[in-house]
A and B are shown apart, each in its own frame.
Chain A
């Protein structure tokens, strides 16, 4: 036999398990114990205990007398009673009483684990600071807590792997990028913002900071609305996401902008009153796009179409999660 597998050796491990160890050390018995509590009185019969255990699939029950813990009776005690043909005897005759091994609701689970290891008992009644019975703790309860702690460690590791540096490291090429393409329909006001929202979600999912995702989303949204309002047949939005730079291209096939410089002036707009009624056409779209981007290029020709390129450089702090914006 190589090494003995115990709860303690599992919890005391290194690496990722160290984190679990830490969690288990922090978690208190009160959070892990079973609180849906069945009890019996010493005067209850062993046959009644048998029914209770069978009905609720439990293997041990605290014995309570006058509101205080008087003992504990387990399935083993029930087997003894069965063997002796004494199912009509009171629980008092078979229960374990005297100095009981108990757990405290406010003690760390780790302490309870040690007690389980040192004794060979299967369960412990849990008492609060006033010695009131508040629950029962089994090895199963602890294993469940351990599994959820492991799950937490695992999900955290998974989140780290979703960050772009990991995401992109997994793919080998001379220059790796993620390309997302969306078709935007002319005059589709109801669907307006869909592409921008999806790009924003994608950026957040691969680990962009809220600040970066926000400035990309706002600029893309303005460009998307422009495609809806001003084009003959809609257009496409293509997001090219690299670890160090995000480039968004909004393209259409007409009508084209006669004077790009004029179109970039704050307040200049060719939008109809109907479009203004919908909250757009204030002539701030391109101004706003410029504000959100690190680089903006417009190429346009009347009768051919318009290409708007928006470039966002990813600064190191913008790949970190959770920092506040602006």
Chain B
């Protein structure tokens, strides 16, 4: 799926354009950046409600080419400026995280499948 198809599927708004010349096949949803850093693989789509610049920093570290912000939460100017600087595309979805993910899953995007269970305190 290319960037344009992602935008079409979720009826999203492109806030930062970037040359994304790859076929996006996987996505992950999280508001916790440590989770993203732990699990995300390069070239995955990041779906998040966390609109501060750290979401863009995280995407940069993890080589995420496109961030989709959900629930129509318009990100701060500094978030968009950092995305522009780092060449990461930003899309705004008016749907909730669940619905945004559902639409993209229905359109063919996949996640990481089952992960090993980690016991927490």
Contact = CB atoms under 8 A, between A and B. Distances in A.
Interface residues of A, number: 31
A217 interface: yes
B20 to A, nearest CB: 16
A283 B120 contact: yes
B38 A326 contact: no
B54 A287 contact: no
Interface residues of B, number: 27
A218 B121 contact: no
A279 B61 contact: no
Contacts of A251: none
A222 B37 contact: yes
B13 interface: no
Contacts of B34: 222, 279-280, 282-285, 288
Contacts of B32: 279-280, 282, 284
Contact of A280 (B42, B48, B54, B61): B54
Contacts of B119: 266
A230 interface: no
Contact of A287 (B38, B50, B78): B38
B31 interface: yes
B82 to A, nearest CB: 9
Interface in B28-56: 31-35, 37-38, 41-42, 48, 50, 52-55
Contacts of B57: 192-193, 196-197, 221
Contacts of B120: 265-268, 283
Contacts of B58: 193, 221, 279
Of B37, B53, B60, chain A has the most CB atoms within 10 Å of the CB of B37
A46 to B, nearest CB: 51
Given A222-B37, A284-B34, A325-B42, A196 B54 contact: no
B118 interface: yes
A202 to B, nearest CB: 14
Contacts of B18: none
Interface in B59-116: 60-63, 78, 86
A279 B62 contact: no
Contact of A279 (B41, B42, B50): B50
Given A192-B57, A197-B61, A267-B121, A278 B50 contact: yes
Contacts of A222: 34, 37
Given A189-B54, A265-B120, A266-B118, 5 more contacts: A190-B53, A222-B37, A282-B32, A283-B34, A285-B34
30 contacts: A192-B53, A192-B54, A193-B60, A193-B61, A197-B57, A197-B61, A197-B86, A200-B61, A214-B63, A225-B33, A225-B54, A265-B120, A266-B120, A266-B121, A278-B52, A278-B54, A279-B52, A279-B55, A280-B32, A280-B34, A282-B32, A282-B35, A283-B34, A284-B34, A284-B38, A287-B38, A288-B37, A325-B42, A326-B41, A326-B42
Interface of A: 189-190, 192-193, 196-197, 200, 210, 214, 217-218, 221-222, 225, 265-268, 278-280, 282-285, 287-288, 291, 324-326
